[in-house]
Amino acid sequence: MTRFHGTTILGVRKDGRVALGGDGQVSMGETVFKSHGSKVRTLKGGKVLAGFAGSVADALTLYEKFEEKLDRYPGNLPRASVELAKDWRSDRVLRRLEALLVVADLEHSFLLSGTGELIEPDDGIVAIGSGGNFALAAARALLPIPGQAARDITQRSLEIAADICVFTNRNITILELPNDGKR
């Protein structure tokens, strides 16, 4: 699978909640251009969370294409994800996009790639980007600890990734479903 430098995105689901977070570092090569970027967003009126790793312009194109799929298959994240993955793999222009997506709603979390990958993790944890494996390992270690909410696990795991990966920083943005103001 392609490995993108410059970001870490982590999704965690626990106890009926899902948190999706990302660091803020935007870099090209070995140069940091921005430290407070936002790589996670809500879609469909706050019902779907999405995060990207890779080229920003490519990710924005993918967000737009994914929203079109969500409009075509309302309330059906799995179907919208499958359709985007099919288009992404078969369309000559989309195939050249250099990004990975993580999308989640209250029932499903998926990793999507231009090589046709569409993965729903068994444990409810999905991570991408240069620090993704570090955040994934930390989240898996924290998940079984009682009293740890999805948001807290996401925060701590991204901090751990930032301590290890030079392409990840501690300017973390976390979005959560349900978005009811509860922690």
pLDDT in tens, 133-177: 999 999 999 999 999 999 999 999 999 999 999 989 999 999 999
Catalytic positions, please?
7
> Which residues face 13 on adjacent strands?
18
Top-level CATH class of 8-177?
alpha beta
The share of the chain scoring above pLDDT 70, in percent, equals 94
Which residue carries 């790793």 as its tokens? 53
- Quickly list DSSP for the chain: ----SS-EEEEEEETTEEEEEE---EEETTEEEESS---EEEETTTTEEEEEEE-HHHHHHHHHHHHHHHHHSTT-HHHHHHHHHHHHHH-TTGGG--EEEEEE-SS-EEEEETTS-EE--SSSEEEEETTHHHHHHHHHHHTTSTT--HHHHHHHHHHHHHHH-TT--S--EEEEES-SS--
> Which residues face 119 on adjacent strands?
111
Residues of the chain where predicted confidence (pLDDT) is lower than 50: 1-4, 183
Q: What is the predicted pLDDT for the residue at 4?
A: 47
Q: What is the predicted pLDDT for the residue at 137?
A: 98
